């Protein structure tokens, strides 16, 4: 999880982050809300 400048306008963008020993990690900017916004699963 992280804070990205202008994140809402960049939804879906993939960012590269440096890791140990020259490794590069990729992360996609996604909606920060992790619950069922539409309520589709409430009556499962």
| Residue 6 to residue 29: CA distance in whole angstroms | 11
> What tens digit of pLDDT does each residue of 11-40 get?
999 999 999 999 999 999 988 877 777 777
CA–CA distances in Å: residue 20 to residues 3, 8, 14, 24: 21, 29, 19, 8
For the whole prediction, is pTM greater than 0.75?
no
């Amino acid at each position: 999880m992280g804070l990205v400048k202008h994140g809402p306008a960049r939804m879906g963008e993939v960012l590269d982050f440096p890791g140990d020993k020259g490794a590069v990690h990729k992360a996609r900017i996604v909606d920060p809300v992790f619950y069922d916004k539409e309520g589709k699963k409430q009556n499962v």
